[in-house]
Amino acid sequence: MNCGEIRPLISAYLDGEVTPEERKSVERHLATCEGCRQALSEYRAIGSDLRAMLVPMPPAGLRRDVWRAIEAREGGARVVKSPPSSHSKIIPLPQTRNKPSVINVLTGAGSGWTRAIPAAVLVGALLIALSYFMLTRQTPIALATMVEQGEITDYSQPVHVLLSKSVDPVSIAENTWVELPQGPDPASWVVANKKVYSSTGPNSGRLEIWPVGTWKPGVQYKVVINAQHVRLVGVGGYLGDKPIDSLTFSTALYTPTPVDTSTNTPVPTDTPVPPTQTPEPPIVNTPASTAVAQVSSEVPVVGATDTPGEPAATATKQPNTPAPPAPPTATRPAPTNTRAVPTATQAQPAATNTAAPSNTPVPPTATSQPTQVPSATATPTAMASATATRKSTGTPTATSTVQPKVTASPPLGCLLEPVRGFGKIWRDHVDVRERLGCPTVPEEGVLPAAQQHFQYGYMFWRGDTRTIYVFLRSGPRDQYGTWFEFKDTWVEGEPVPTVEGGAPEGGYIPVRGFGKLWASDPALRQKIGYATEPETSVDAVWQPFEHGRALWTSDRTIRMMYEDGIWQHFNDTFTSE
Amino acid sequence: MEGLALAIDEKSWVARAREGDSTAFEAIYSRYERRIYAFVYRLMGNAEDAYDLTQDTFIKAYQALPRTAPDLNLSAWLHRIASNACMDVLRRRKLIRWLPWETFDTNPGMEPAADDDPVGEYNQFETSGEVQSVLDRLTPKHRMSLVLKEYQGLSCDEIGDVMGLSRSAVKSLLFRAREEFRQVYLRKYGHAPGAESDQVAFREAGDYDG
């Protein structure tokens, strides 16, 4: 056969769509024909190129619009349930926290809309129990199963996936990631970085996934394996023909060891400096509080959508409220902290921003909630915490059923304490203190340094270490997000790769080191958007802590960079008097 | 209870949705929303169309579901509705090609999206990139077959289901699509696909196929 005849077969060969005879003749031809080998490798490259394209995230409004349109057309006749706006995420946490993960597995999505399903499942259960039973029998052998059942209690440990087939270690690691149920927002694509697959030995077939830092407490994670890209060993072909996204695991809520309410804890009202010594919002260890924490964490989306103009007190220094609380790192000796971490909030920085709404007098209940929501519970708590936050006098007795506890002061007795702007925030914000730990060296000036603001983030360059820090923003305000560290590989005079299409009006294409990084990484470009101003040099101060770093820039901005990849923004209010 | 609930598979959702159970349809929507959106996005090359046509797809699916056969292949069926919707639009555009469509595609703008959703916003700014711009220049059928195969991970049989073709027709379509892709790519970038694969994805570094 000549090349013209063999080419279509090469294409089919690549897809595994040839007969054994065809395969043989293709291989025979390839062995002698350079041109066709080239064609095969180009066909392959086309596939890799396509698979490497980002999978865009549908805008949040889509779901709502679809439902509205369906409702409108159906006149509501067939719509049994009340319309699930994309805001119906507020659901009470069931008594056992395992249940949502089941739903998650079910729907493969776990977005708020589908999480309303448990009720329906429970109601209909008796009627269709039999068919459920039969379906159980029919469940096919899973290609991949989660080893960890039940909740993860050690947040620093890896989780494991057992695969039913032997796969190529590199391709499984490349094609697996961990998402938060909300999908790949900036916080989610860094939740796991280390993936180790053992193809031999007692643990063969096992994929080990390590968190970046720690897993967040009280969260359901989804493990997604792009099975159609995972190569099988030996026989060739791929693990599956579509992504496996039914694997989930959840982490236990952080329940600190209960201790007696310390008598030496200063009563908030007695504190000499009221605005600084902020008492914690009323915190409880009862399940009720957990539910509330979940609820408020879900609110964010609502807040972002419905009250965009709300000038939530974010401009001014705002103790604690939006701060993602400290992750209970195993290594950190802070057992005295009796504060139940509002875990969901922390886990989803995107969501956290809306913690701000809880600051406003309007509690989250204002938004459309599914009827299951015990809004009675949610409201008082939201109010109470808002109150406690606003007035720093916070007598947390506001909540009736809960037993408020005031946080004991954490790492006292650091050998070194931060000073000036860092020191003020570190002392004022107990959660910052808990997350960062003690400073490891005194603060130091950074020279040279440069910065550039982007539509959805910020870049900072340390000239002394030739490092670029990328800060992606989660949420509309410049409050917190995720940060990344990159080596600056650009050398003076090196041309920066050009990117197709110019900057939109009012936007800038970054240049130099920022530009190189930006141009070479489409995913980063997508996340951070265009620059909103030219790069500028800046005075900066840097201080490493046990569990993070602090960065001050001369625009009087402080960014706390926690080791779990979250950053948090503060205005520097320190004045030297 | 949980073990039982686990066993509810797609078929039972379809069955329930067919009976008018909107909860079941929500489950289906949740499972396929992103997949269909991505598919349409790659076919049309822009977020605006992706939004509209994904919406159309699910509305049509909701209405047509009661009339489907019990052994419905949901994935292929949804893809088929989506590709028909896309083809309709592409065909219409071809008739009125003198309109400068490009202006709609590259207009990220600096103002926030109408829906104040940070995650959604990011998507407005994806520069379509090398691959997308090559895809955009392919014949719609070629583009569709390649996207279904390589991006959506469908088998030739499934693609046949979606596009209403026999398996062998799909094979030869894929061949022609790959050839067209090569040529367009070469013309546009001056080198063959894969010859310069130095792009590093943010999440998954390196390329897939070595």
Of the partner residues B8, B41, B126, the one whose CB lies closest to the CB of residue A135 = B8
pLDDT digits (tens, 9 = 90+) for A562-571: 887 788 888 8
Per-residue pLDDT at A285 exceeds 90? no
Site from A7, A18, A26, A54 to mutate, B interface, most B CB atoms within 10 angstroms? A54
pLDDT digits (tens, 9 = 90+) for B50-63: 999 999 999 999 98
Residues in A closer than 8 angstroms to B3, CB to CB, are 136
A367: DSSP letter = S
Q: What is the pLDDT of residue A31?
A: 92
Residues in B closer than 8 angstroms to A224, CB to CB, are none
The arithmetic mean of pLDDT across residues A161-177, rounded, is 81
Cα(B89)–Cα(B111) distance, integer angstroms = 27
Separation in Å, CA of B47 to nearest CA in chain A: 9
Per-residue pLDDT at A422 exceeds 80? yes
Q: What is the pLDDT of residue B19?
A: 84
Q: What is the pLDDT of residue A74?
A: 64
pLDDT band at A137 (very low <50, low <70, confident <90, very high): very low
CB contact under 8 A, A241 and B2: no
The arithmetic mean of pLDDT across residues B129-149, rounded, is 89
Q: Between A260 and A41, name the one with better pLDDT.
A: A41
Of the partner residues B27, B147, B194, the one whose CB lies closest to the CB of residue A42 = B194
Cα(A45)–Cα(A39) distance, integer angstroms = 10
Alpha helix locations (H) across A53-98?
60-74
Residues in B closer than 8 angstroms to A12, CB to CB, are 171, 174-175
Cα(A304)–Cα(A108) distance, integer angstroms = 25
Q: What is the pLDDT of residue A100?
A: 33
CB contact under 8 A, A59 and B120: yes
Separation in Å, CA of B142 to nearest CA in chain A: 13
Separation in Å, CA of A570 to nearest CA in chain B: 20
Per-residue pLDDT at A458 exceeds 90? yes
B53-92 residues touching A, CB cutoff 8 A = 54-55, 58-59, 62-63, 75
Hey, what are A530's tokens?
Answer: 């265009």
Least confidently predicted of A78-82, A423-427, B85-89: A78-82
CB contact under 8 A, B110 and A505: yes
Site from B150, B171, B188 to mutate, A interface, most A CB atoms within 10 angstroms? B150
Q: Is the CB of B21 inside 8 Å of chain A's CB atoms?
A: yes
Q: What is the pLDDT of residue B176?
A: 95
- If you count them, how many residues does chain B have? 210
CA angle B200, B109, A52 (to 5 degrees): 20
Residues in A closer than 8 angstroms to B51, CB to CB, are 58-59, 62
Cα(A114)–Cα(A88) distance, integer angstroms = 9
A275-294 residues touching B, CB cutoff 8 A = none
CB contact under 8 A, A476 and B116: yes
Q: What is the pLDDT of residue A302?
A: 36
Separation in Å, CA of A504 to nearest CA in chain B: 6
B179-198 residues touching A, CB cutoff 8 A = 179, 181-182, 185, 192-195, 197-198
Per-residue pLDDT at A260 exceeds 50? no
CB contact under 8 A, A125 and B1: yes
Q: What is the pLDDT of residue A412?
A: 55
Cα(A474)–Cα(A412) distance, integer angstroms = 31
Per-residue pLDDT at B207 exceeds 60? no
Q: What is the pLDDT of residue A65?
A: 86
Q: What is the pLDDT of residue A508?
A: 87
Residues in A closer than 8 angstroms to B161, CB to CB, are none
Cα(A89)–Cα(A65) distance, integer angstroms = 16
Residue with the two structure tokens 């030297």: A576
Question: Cα-flanking dihedrals φ and ψ of residue A500, to 5°?
Answer: -60, 135
pLDDT band at A6 (very low <50, low <70, confident <90, very high): very high
Per-residue pLDDT at A460 exceeds 90? yes
Cα(A322)–Cα(B24) distance, integer angstroms = 36
Q: What is the pLDDT of residue A478?
A: 65
The arithmetic mean of pLDDT across residues B29-43, rounded, is 90
Q: Between A384 and B155, name the one with better pLDDT.
A: B155
Shortest CA distance from B189: residue in chain A: A500
Distant-in-sequence, close-in-space partners of A20: CB < 8 Å, separation ≥ 6: none
Per-residue pLDDT at A484 exceeds 50? yes
Of the partner residues B20, B34, B110, the one whose CB lies closest to the CB of residue A57 = B34
Per-residue pLDDT at A472 exceeds 70? yes
pLDDT band at A182 (very low <50, low <70, confident <90, very high): low
pLDDT digits (tens, 9 = 90+) for A298-329: 333 333 333 333 333 333 334 443 444 444 43
Q: What is the pLDDT of residue A132?
A: 44
pLDDT digits (tens, 9 = 90+) for B92-125: 776 544 333 333 333 333 333 333 333 333 333 3
Name the pTM for this structure: 0.38
The arithmetic mean of pLDDT across residues A394-399, rounded, is 36
Distant-in-sequence, close-in-space partners of A187: CB < 8 Å, separation ≥ 6: A180, A347, A348, A349, A350, A474, A481, A482, A565, A566
Q: What is the pLDDT of residue A220?
A: 78
CB neighbourhood size of B30 (10 A)? 21
Q: Is the CB of A486 inside 8 Å of chain B's CB atoms?
A: no
At A501 the three-state DSSP class reads coil
Hey, what are A199's tokens?
Answer: 């193809």
Separation in Å, CA of B86 to nearest CA in chain A: 17
Cα(A326)–Cα(A153) distance, integer angstroms = 16
Q: Is the CB of A130 inside 8 Å of chain B's CB atoms?
A: no
pLDDT digits (tens, 9 = 90+) for A509-550: 998 999 988 988 877 888 888 898 889 988 899 999 988 999
The arithmetic mean of pLDDT across residues A4-9, rounded, is 92
Shortest CA distance from B40: residue in chain A: A56
CB contact under 8 A, A47 and B150: yes
The arithmetic mean of pLDDT across residues A158-174, rounded, is 82
Of the partner residues A51, A56, A107, the one whose CB lies closest to the CB of residue B30 = A107
Question: Prior bond to A448 cis, omega within 30?
Answer: yes
B147: DSSP letter = I
What is the β-pairing status of strands A151-152 and A244-251? Answer: parallel
CB contact under 8 A, A523 and B31: no
The arithmetic mean of pLDDT across residues A141-146, rounded, is 78
